[in-house]
Amino acid sequence: MRAARLHEFTDDMSEALSIDEIDRPEVTRSDEIVVEIEGAGWCQTDNHIVEGMWQEYAPIDLPQTLGHENAGTVADVGSEVTVVEEGDQVLCHPVMTCGTCRSCRLGEDMYCDELSFPGLTTEGGFAEYLLTNERAVVPLEGVDPVDIAPHADAGITAYHAAKKAVEELVPGDYAVLVGIGGLGHIGLQAVDSMSAARTIAVDVKDEALSLAEDLGADYTINPTEEDVPEVVDDITDGVGATQTLDFVGSDETTGMGPDLLAAGGDHHVVGYGGHVHEPSQTLVDGEMSFRGTLVGEYTELQELVSLVEQGEMHLETSEYDLSEINTVAERLEHREIEGRAVIVP
């Protein structure tokens, strides 16, 4: 089968992956599933993997097939699989988990002791077929796998952050969402669908702010034209936002955190690549928190799929052939892709 594989780490996205012929995966365990990939979303994390940024956290043996936002049709199942059968369409949670460790029993999929992450620690979905397991697949009802594939990571990550944020939001509160791109436009809809808080969308691109308005943002701010903390202060009558969801995660955006938040507020770091540089006294005085976001739970992906099936979640996507994968990587590196790019093998 064809697969897009990383052979060496590089900063040059134009030649990041090569299209290789490799063996199609086969079921060897009773709980395994082979999925024929119909759509696989390209993620900013894929760029970071290509750059070698993940080596410190999850060492990768090269060559490796990337791709962790995967959806398609079940092609083969192990002898004990009961959740799906051949021919069913599924969305794949990004990780395969054991189900028996304490984290799994608590529902914390991302903390599994035996976690496998396609496209990072095992072969991913930028290929014609993917090997996963029964615990990872969410059956789909009347949803095109190509349309929903990016929700496997981008969607669930944004939803996971939004779900934590809305636990602290009540009517009259404000939530700031920084970066209305591939994750942010999903997070905005999730906050809007699960809370009565008013939303403030922040982005340097007018197109992104226009999308935010279309998706229901109450206010929009372009940092190249206005001072974000000042505008947020004006909007909230000097109180500040209860929650900030940062889908950029740069030094600049995390640096705004204390200036945007009301006392006791949270700055959710969803995008990454930058650093948090704050005196400890800043956190103490405002009793604020920086909270990280690591994908999300399987049950949250089920909830997100339900929102999609109910028509509550719009996803901006563009489709590309597997042969165009380096073009996608390069365009995303230059922030030239609106929403999410989906690779169709």
**C-alpha distance across the termini of the chain, in Å:** 10
Give CATH for domain 157-292.
3.40.50.720
Contact assessment for residue 315 and residue 338, using Cβ atoms and an 8 Å cutoff:
no
Residue 218: its pLDDT value, please? Answer: 98
May I ask the CATH class of domain 2-153+296-344? alpha beta
Angle between helices 298-309 and 184-194 (to 10 degrees): 80
Residue 59: its pLDDT value, please? Answer: 85
CA 116/CA 67 separation, integer angstroms: 13
Contact assessment for residue 207 and residue 215, using Cβ atoms and an 8 Å cutoff:
no
Residue 255: its pLDDT value, please? Answer: 95
Contact assessment for residue 49 and residue 6, using Cβ atoms and an 8 Å cutoff:
yes
Q: Residue 215: which residues within 8 A CB-CB, separation 6 or more?
A: 185, 188, 189, 192, 314
Ranges of the chain with pLDDT below 70: none
Residue 244: its pLDDT value, please? Answer: 98
Q: What are phi and psi of 323, to 5 degrees?
A: -65, -15
pLDDT single digits (tens) 66-85 = 999 999 999 999 999 999 99
**Domains in the chain: boundaries:** 2-153+296-344, 157-292
Q: The pTM is what?
A: 0.92
